[in-house]
Structure 1
Amino acid sequence: MSMSTSVNTSMSVLIVDDEPGMRSFLSKAMLKKFAFVETASTIAEAELLRSQGHFDVLIVDIRLPDRSGIEWHEALDDTDRQSDIIFMTGYADMDVAIKALRAGASDFIMKPFHLEQMMTAVDRCIEKRLLKRENFMLKRELSHGQSSTIIGSSDAINEVKQVIERVAPTNAVVLIEGESGTGKELVARQLHQLSGRTGPFVPVNCGAIAPELLASELFGHIAGSFTGAKTSREGLFNFASGGTIFLDEIGEMPMNMQTALLRVLEQRAIRPVGSEKEVNIDVRVVAATNRLLVEEVESGHFRRDLYYRLNVLNILIPPLRARPEDVVELTHHFTVQISKDLGIKPVLWSHEDLQVLKQHEWPGNIRELKNMIERCILLGKPPAEYWKKSATTETIENSGYPLDWTLKAVEKEHVTKVVDAHEGNKSAAARDLGVSRKTLDRKYKDWLGHTSDEQEEG
């Protein structure tokens, strides 16, 4: 295995050895790998340091003055496995080595050792930590189910694409502005994809996280820093190391967090909640808002200095009504995508359907268009028919539904609207509907079966 030579700006190591010479020797060596290196001579000192900040790797001598490294249960019994542990010993005892590995050690090294041997063990730990972060972000990516393809060929959207290509290779902060549903996250993903940055893309909805938990979510926390913080935890800025963090709905961020974010942007370092230590970061920040931040600044709801710091590069996404020529292309894209997700053949919309879609104002923009296409496919109603309301129908509607609809059609329409309101989160929709997620999935499967049958008959 080839050893990496670059310093990982988001990783930290704690060396625990009662020999000053060994602590000094390893500390100098580890500065080539880690941005933050600490040392301790006893388990008590080490545990105090651990309570003040997070460490990715622990290099621990087994024989220490106060107790054996193998008896350091606080670190070994950490169920979240916040640290990888490398044990060292000058006593050739195979039973001790086996006991150390069983206790949860990542590696076991005999003293005296060659530095290359230690560095190889450290590299394995770093790779394991990075893989864990990548897996975490991959799960987030899959749960979001987002692509990074911007659909449309209108002059308005082509201009946005050109700006993205121009600013993506830089490391500058970018502020994306646009109405809800215009595709701000899509633009942020495209910025990341074209940036050349090797780390992950980490999306964060600032308005969806409780204000009191936002600092912990972004910067992490140490054990005992607040009620319920039983173990230390890395923040999303850590997981975004080498990549891009996307702060959506930045206008919803509380004032105290705005101050903290400004400090992060200026110092390129984060401080976990409850810690006195700062951790250097290599993360590009992209922010987005559907509010006019200038007005928020004037009203005193957003820090003026943070606004200027965020607004280094600005991308304004036009609403869908300003680019009606893209509606047909988007409709075809969503029809194929949704049909594939539902496991049915793509629907072919008529010219009348497409004209109806082009003429709509789309106050909810692209998100509204996508939800509309999904409802039409699920209900088996083309857009033109879905929106067609005769004078008779308008006079007999009951709570928004025509009286000639079947109970199943009303149920299907209501359920899809609730799911839409939760932006596709069926678990949240099921709670609002008073049913289990399993029941909701069963209904979708039943509707899908009927939709497929109807299409085959047609």
Structure 2
Amino acid sequence: MDSDETTIGETLRAEAPARILTVRVLFEPEATAARPSTPIGRGLFAIGRSRGQSQLCLKDPRASRCHATLQVTHELTARINDRSRHGTFVNGRRIEGSAELSDGDIVRLGDSLLLVRAASTAPAKDADIGSLDGISDAMSALRHTVAQVAPTDAKVLIQGETGTGKELVARAIHARSGRRGRFVAVNCAAIPESLAESQLFGHSQGAFTGAAKAQPGFMRAADGGTLFLDEVGELSQMLQPKLLRALEQREVTPVGCTEPVKVDIRLVAATHRALLQDVDAGRFRGDLYARVAGYLVRTPPLRERPEDVLPLLRRALGEGAAPLCADLVEALLLHRFRFNVRELNELATQLTIDGAGASRLTLEMVAGRLEPRDRDAGTRADERADEPAKPAEKKPAPTEPELRRLVELHGGNVSRIARELGRSRRQVHRYLRKHGIQLG
């Protein structure tokens, strides 16, 4: 790995700051934007529509004067107590008396929807990157990371699920890189194996049947700019060593030529695959992984940042769209979003068509397309992560390099590491002790 890549990895890595529980109003009737987060103090924290009785006052006629109270029970958990005959709902289920809350829980009081967060006590770091929308801390952190890594020469590997905006991140990195050349995007999964070498490295006239004229290829087209290899994990094993050599030598030899041509590119790659597992299985070269993964960037899935759902939906619906009903909002905030922002945009299209002329957009318009996330009322998120995954979903025990990658990728969050590995949090701690890995 290049020395500059090691340096950037060390420079951008930081210890995880302390966190506190907060509550944020994501939706109220007639409101068009979420409110800022409010820290939950150590005493009783009342929520309702009475300014005199509530620390958090809701503009909601269906909320009681003092609808519910919260009280921190542990460092990052709180207990919510129902004080209203109208009921209090946590993750779509009505609670009986009280329930425990933790990071990511959705609470409904009347027609208002609130989000509980374990938020950092450190000031939020952000950057002005308009193409990466979102009010969540996860998106603020992503924009900050992009702004930091963009002006460096580090090769970047973007990891994330389908529809999380990996190409948007790559384009933002290029836009802030200061490089004058083009941004060239290549879908590695769509390159025919028979033409892969000529498409990537170019060819001379007459190099093969049908080569009527010389073509520069993707790498030379990106000279002086950024080459974005989307779905890099889909590269054929035949092409992988040739790409590795081109990256190491900073030169390409077009098909039909004998002399190499120098290229100056910034490489940004993306994948939805667990590439280190592909390396272990022999499907992806370890030396190529080391070359493309100079710095890892993770695009967070939409289900991890419900505070971004409504702003993104309202943008997709456009100005003049009918108001959203509370049942629809609650279902959207609890939806799994398997395909992330891409799926949200499809839901917006259906709402636009089915809601044409309607006074309000309702749940019935998209109910058949929504499925809840796996969050049960009164069940703590960290306890859920402690439950072992089904055997079919369990992944092999991680190697030390993979475990270090996961620690860095998830900022030391053991619950997220456990979910990705299909193991309990206790087992993850055993792996960490085995390999001598310290968390922050």
- Give me the TM-score of the superposition, normalised by structure 1: 0.49
CA distance 1:224–1:364, shift in 2 (3 Å): same
The Cα of 1:310 is off from its aligned counterpart by 1.0
CA distance 1:213–1:326, shift in 2 (3 Å): same
Q: Work out whether 1:283 is the aligned partner of 2:265.
A: yes
3-state secondary structure, aligned to 1:308: helix
Q: Work out whether 1:252 is the aligned partner of 2:227.
A: no
Q: Work out whether 1:182 is the aligned partner of 2:164.
A: yes
Q: How does 1:53-452 map to 2 (within 5 A)?
A: 149-336=131-318, 346-380=321-355, 382=361, 384-388=363-367
Verify the 8 A CA contact 2:204 2:254 in the aligned structure 1.
yes
Verify the 8 A CA contact 1:221 1:234 in the aligned structure 2.
yes
CA distance in 2, matches of 1:217, 1:298: 28
Identity value in percent = 44
3-state secondary structure, aligned to 1:231: coil
The Cα of 1:350 is off from its aligned counterpart by 3.6
CA distance in 2, matches of 1:347, 1:229: 55
Verify the 8 A CA contact 2:354 2:365 in the aligned structure 1.
no
3-state secondary structure, aligned to 1:262: helix
Unaligned runs of 5+ in 2: 1-128, 369-440
Deviations 1:222-266 (A, max 9, x none): 122222112111212222121111100000000121111111111
CA distance in 1, matches of 2:366, 2:199: 43
Deviations 1:66-101 (A, max 9, x none): xxxxxxxxxxxxxxxxxxxxxxxxxxxxxxxxxxxx
Q: CA RMSD in A?
A: 1.9
3-state secondary structure, aligned to 1:204: strand
CA distance 1:349–1:199, shift in 2 (3 Å): farther
Name the structure 2 match of 1:93. none
CA distance in 2, matches of 1:277, 1:185: 33
Deviations 1:299-357 (A, max 9, x none): 10000000011111000111111111111111122222xx8xxxxx5454344433322
3-state secondary structure, aligned to 2:189: coil
Deviations 1:42-61 (A, max 9, x none): xxxxxxxxxxxxxxxxxxxx
CA distance in 1, matches of 2:333, 2:150: 31
CA distance in 2, matches of 1:226, 1:151: 46
Verify the 8 A CA contact 1:164 1:191 in the aligned structure 2.
yes
The Cα of 1:166 is off from its aligned counterpart by 1.1
CA distance 1:220–1:361, shift in 2 (3 Å): same
Verify the 8 A CA contact 2:347 2:366 in the aligned structure 1.
no
> Which structure features the higher share of helix residues?
1
CA distance in 1, matches of 2:251, 2:130: 28
CA distance in 1, matches of 2:174, 2:281: 32
CA distance in 1, matches of 2:194, 2:326: 51
Deviations 1:90-124 (A, max 9, x none): xxxxxxxxxxxxxxxxxxxxxxxxxxxxxxxxxxx
CA distance in 2, matches of 1:237, 1:148: 28
CA distance in 2, matches of 1:349, 1:214: 48
Verify the 8 A CA contact 1:148 1:189 in the aligned structure 2.
no
Task: Supply the AA of the counterpart residue of 1:349.
Answer: L
The Cα of 1:283 is off from its aligned counterpart by 1.1
Task: Supply the AA of the counterpart residue of 2:225.
Answer: G
Verify the 8 A CA contact 1:154 1:325 in the aligned structure 2.
yes
Verify the 8 A CA contact 1:264 1:270 in the aligned structure 2.
yes
Task: Supply the AA of the counterpart residue of 1:325.
Answer: E
The Cα of 1:273 is off from its aligned counterpart by 1.3
CA distance in 1, matches of 2:366, 2:343: 14
The Cα of 1:375 is off from its aligned counterpart by 2.6
The Cα of 1:280 is off from its aligned counterpart by 0.8
CA distance 1:228–1:379, shift in 2 (3 Å): farther
CA distance 1:148–1:260, shift in 2 (3 Å): farther
Task: Supply the AA of the counterpart residue of 2:265.
Answer: V
- Give me the TM-score of the superposition, normalised by structure 2: 0.51
Task: Supply the AA of the counterpart residue of 2:345.
Answer: K
Verify the 8 A CA contact 2:351 2:366 in the aligned structure 1.
no
